[in-house]
A and B are shown apart, each in its own frame.
Chain A
Amino acid sequence: MIMTNIPGLIVVVPLLSAVIVALMPSGGVAWVLTLLATIATFALTVINATTGDGATVSYALGGWPPPWGIEFISDGASRLMALIISSLSVASTLYANVLIEKEIHEKDQARVYGAWLLTIGGLLGLVMTGDAFNLFVFLEISSLASVTLVAMGAGVDRRALIAGYNYLVIGAIGATFYVIGVGFCYAVTGTLNMADLAVRLPGATAAPVFVGLAFMVAGIMVKAAAFPVHMWLPAAYGYAPSAVSSLLAAIATKASIYVLARVVFTIFGGLPDVTDLLLNWVILPLSVMAMFAGTILAIYEHDLKKLLAQSSIAQIGYITLAFAIGTTSSISAGFIHMANHAMIKGGLFMAVGALMVTIGKRVTMSSIEGLGRAMPWTCSAMLVCGLSLIGLPLTAGFISKIYLVLATLDAGMNVITGLILLSSALSVLYLWKIVEVMWMRPYKGKALAENILIYGPLWLVAIANIVFGIYAKPIVDLADAAARAITGGAL
């Protein structure tokens, strides 16, 4: 009973528990239930990824067979994404307890956890669904819930409200663009099922199909915060409550980038001429610009949360770049970096959040002076994640970079390889600036107490960065399976 319904349960468990959690009388009870729900979801995604022979499983919702009913797809790509989302949400939930207690008013806490689970459930639905319109619904569930979470930062900083508002309006325009694109494809094929669309689109009238692809990709790029439509992201992650920043930075944009890959490689997989044009002339140049724009903005940023958000834009650039190259090895490198960047950025945002609640003000370059001595646990975990972001050997970030570089060399794109290395070298600048201020200067303030409930989960993520930097095989294997699944073995 449970085994056959796992692809559905992965989405249903967090969505249903969101309702129950939101009705809880106190934040503490709500947190325990949220943690249980995320652990259960994680267990389900692990079972989903390890059982079976690696073949694609189609799950018909409500027993209506596809292409008429809505279908959930469990293939290499959605298995990996579901694992990334559910594992990082367990870590973020563990970490959230103390932070939400400190940053959010007692009477709102239970409902914040409700929105928290809705975000996670929405993102999981996004990666599991095999229906182009159903995808839009999950996209909006997750983004409305995450807008609420971002705006809850208003208790600490009123600017969170503006960040939430802009995120909502820009996000809604993006989602509407996506649905317009789906409408064009539906008009010429009469189907909404992704696999069915992939079969029918090559034979359909060309013009509406091109317009549909353009609208869908433009809309998703907004949601994925790809350059140049990333403007909502630094403010949203910068002013959100610390726990929320760590959750969203780890998983939210990743799911949207995955959708981009689904649309380009699965739905439009039968039209390689058109998608090559899009990848080579639109996504590739924009990704390169994102790599540099994000890194340079991060170098000049004074506020640490915003600095990390700017660096996320550059990292999203690496992932979309890997997809834009479009070979199996580069798509696989993109998936590897998605998994690793989720761990890196999740960890870094957790560390900055820990600093923020301990020093009691916004974390800027001047307020972290000498903190390495005052808060050794938090700051050393942050150092590990930071080194992983640069891509130092023995960290997960190194694995991403090496696969990405090898994939570009394989594809004969030496200039791109050079640009990746240059942008990585530039990212050393902003991280070195943090390390220097944090560790090399004397600490002048009063003694600070660290809380194991905060730095425990943070170290969990930091250790994962090291473990997967040394023993990268599981992620690489899953990413290879993901790349093969998403291209349908066409490459």
Chain B
Amino acid sequence: MFDFIASHWNYLIVVVLMLIGLYIVMSRQNLVKKLVGLSIFQTALFLFYITLGRIDGGTAPIINPDVDYVYSNPLPHVLILTAIVVGVATTALGLALTLRINDAFGSIEEDEILAAKAEDGLIEEKKS
């Protein structure tokens, strides 16, 4: 058991971070906190890929024909570089939307926004 935990330490952290992230997204009312949760969730994914590419005793993947050594797989790092860019774009767009929501509704708390939104619906019914 202990060996399993020790050898899969990174993966356990990934699972824990992922669950923390998802929990924050689902449970928080504050729109900025939701985005924080989303970022933690995505960071867990990055860690997962990076761990996949790592080999014990591995070094940077620069091929030198004179020396025989073990090197880590660079591909997951490249993939995650792309995923990080996507993650940053998502967070940026989310924060921009939050700003606009704050301008339009005067709040970034979900329950207050929903109350204002329900009011919009009532106004609409009266009009039509």
Using a CB–CB cutoff of 8 Å, the interface residues on chain A facing chain B are: 133, 136-137, 140, 144, 147-148, 151, 154, 157-159, 161-162, 164-165, 168-169, 172-173, 175-176, 179-180, 183, 186-187, 192, 361-362, 364, 366-367
Contact = CB atoms under 8 A, between A and B. Distances in A.
A364 B76 CA distance: 50
Given A154-B100, A165-B94, A133 B128 contact: no
A186 B45 CA distance: 13
Contact of A179 (B25, B45, B120): B45
B124 interface: yes
22 contacts: A133-B79, A136-B86, A137-B86, A140-B86, A140-B89, A144-B90, A161-B97, A161-B101, A162-B101, A162-B117, A165-B98, A165-B101, A168-B90, A169-B25, A172-B38, A173-B22, A176-B45, A183-B52, A186-B52, A187-B52, A361-B127, A362-B128
A172 B124 contact: no
Contacts of B94: 165, 168-169
B90 A140 contact: yes
Given A179-B83, A183-B45, A364-B128, A161 B90 contact: no
Nearest to B37: A169
Contacts of A176: 41-42, 45
A367 B41 contact: no
Interface in B59-116: 76, 79, 82-83, 86, 89-90, 93-94, 97-98, 100-101, 104-105, 113
A187 B105 CA distance: 46
Interface string B1-32: 00000000000000000000010010000010
Given A176-B45, A362-B124, A168 B117 contact: no
A11 to B, nearest CB: 16
A364 B123 CA distance: 13
A173 B89 contact: no
Q: Which 5 A-B residue pairings sit nearest by Cβ, starting from the closest? A: A158-B104, A140-B86, A165-B97, A161-B101, A172-B90
Contacts, number: 80
A175 B90 CA distance: 11
B45 A144 contact: no
Given A169-B94, A366-B128, 18 more contacts: A133-B82, A136-B83, A154-B100, A154-B104, A159-B117, A162-B101, A162-B117, A169-B34, A169-B35, A172-B38, A173-B25, A175-B86, A179-B45, A179-B83, A180-B45, A183-B52, A187-B52, A361-B128
Contacts of A180: 45, 48
Nearest to B127: A361
Contacts of A367: 128
Contacts of B90: 140, 144, 168, 172
B34, B45, B93, B104 — most chain A CB neighbours (10 Å):
B93
Nearest to A133: B79
Contacts of A172: 38, 42, 90
A183 B49 contact: yes
Contacts of B79: 133, 192
A172 B25 CA distance: 11
A192 B83 CA distance: 15
A147 B93 contact: yes
B36 to A, nearest CB: 11
A157 B83 CA distance: 33
A136 B90 CA distance: 13
Nearest to A362: B124
Contacts of B97: 147, 151, 161, 164-165, 168
A133 B45 CA distance: 13
Interface string B33-58: 01100100110010011001000000
A151 B94 CA distance: 11
Contacts of B104: 154, 158, 161
Contacts of A183: 45, 48-49, 52
B93 to A, nearest CB: 6
A366 B124 CA distance: 11
A362 to B, nearest CB: 6
A46 B93 CA distance: 35
A147 B42 CA distance: 19
A192 B80 CA distance: 14
Contacts of B76: 186
A152 to B, nearest CB: 10
Nearest to B79: A133
Contacts of A186: 52, 76
